[in-house]
Amino acid sequence: MLDISFKKVCVCLSVFSFLSGTVEQPKDEAERKEEEIILLLKKAKLNVYHGHFQAASRLLHQAVVLAHQTHNTQAIIYTYSLVTLLHQTIIYTYSFSHCSAFFAQDDNAVIEMSLKLAAIYAEQKNVEMAEHGFRFCTESLKAKLEKEQELSEEEESMRKETRLLLGLCLDSRARYRASQLQLSQAGQDYQDALDICCQEQGETHPQTLVLMSDLATILDLQGRHDDALKLIQQAVDLGRSAGHPDQHVLLLNLAGILMHTGRRKDSVRLYHEALSSARQAGDEEAVERVHEGLEELKKRKEQEEEKEEEEQEAH
């Protein structure tokens, strides 16, 4: 899914004049057009927020035209990204309105569509609609599960699907809450999603291990490094025995948490193991994250050495 932050868009637009190469217009004219693009994007975002999709589409089209006229490549890329996101919103809103006309409000198909819409609103930084969507999904599924007690074998299978969907909703909301730095709430959602996944799919299921890793990250961010280390180590050990397809991601997370606990040598060893596995898997993003982690370790070591030198000079 696209991760489009409008704030980032505006920041990037402010440096377009430096990235777009030679521009044949006078500098003041280029700046005026740049400001006009930013204003159009702001208006488009406001219209999307209020559900005025046609107006938003018209404004984005004007921004694209201006971006092409001024040869601002970055403006073109970001504006088209927003257009794509707008089209996703329109498609899912239209689909949801028709789906909900034929199915009950707590039907899993309706919930799945609502979850997708909530995720799109989260990407658009529409906090009110995103939180409303996530709340609707989780509360509807919990209420539905409470109503279902004694079930036949076929109904029990449906109940399992509903529980797994609830886990998916909690996982999605946890990621959203983590992005909002609501760490306590994110941690609870991850824990609830992990409990469901363990019960329904087992502790060695790939998704279970991913949830363990994600929860460990939240615990680490909260400063609960020992709890985080215990959980991620469990995930890594289970991943080794089960042959987790993304074991390098678990190793990478373990290395980062070890760094935060001050175990530098163990962290370096795990980062290199993760690097080897990531290269074998062809995961370039993970390779980049490993290099970032090793660079962070290097900086921490240099800072500690400088601090020791300063303390020795003081004595």
Q: Give pLDDT, residue 64.
A: 75
For residue 228, being part of any structural domain is answered with: no
For residue 117, being part of any structural domain is answered with: no
- Token pair of 12 as six digits: 């990037």
Task: Round to whole Å and give the CA distance between 166 and 135.
Answer: 11
Lowest mean pLDDT of 106-115, 183-192, 202-211, 223-232, name the range: 106-115
For residue 86, being part of any structural domain is answered with: yes
- Token pair of 223 as six digits: 């400063």
For residue 77, being part of any structural domain is answered with: yes
Tell me the whole-structure pTM to 2 decimals. Answer: 0.66
Banded model confidence at residue 50, pLDDT cuts 50, 70, 90: low
For residue 149, being part of any structural domain is answered with: no
Reported as type and span, the H/E element at residue 251 is: helix 247-260
pLDDT in tens, 244-260: 888 999 999 999 999 99
Domain containing 22: what range? Answer: 1-106
For residue 41, being part of any structural domain is answered with: yes
For residue 132, being part of any structural domain is answered with: no
Mean pLDDT of the chain: 80
3-state SS of 149-201?
Answer: CCCCHHHHHHHHHHHHHHHHHHHHHHHHHHHCCCHHHHHHHHHHHHHHHHHHH
Task: Round to whole Å and give the CA distance between 172 and 117.
Answer: 12
Task: Round to whole Å and give the CA distance between 65 and 14.
Answer: 18
Total domain count, the chain: 1
For residue 262, being part of any structural domain is answered with: no
Task: Round to whole Å and give the CA distance between 126 and 119.
Answer: 10
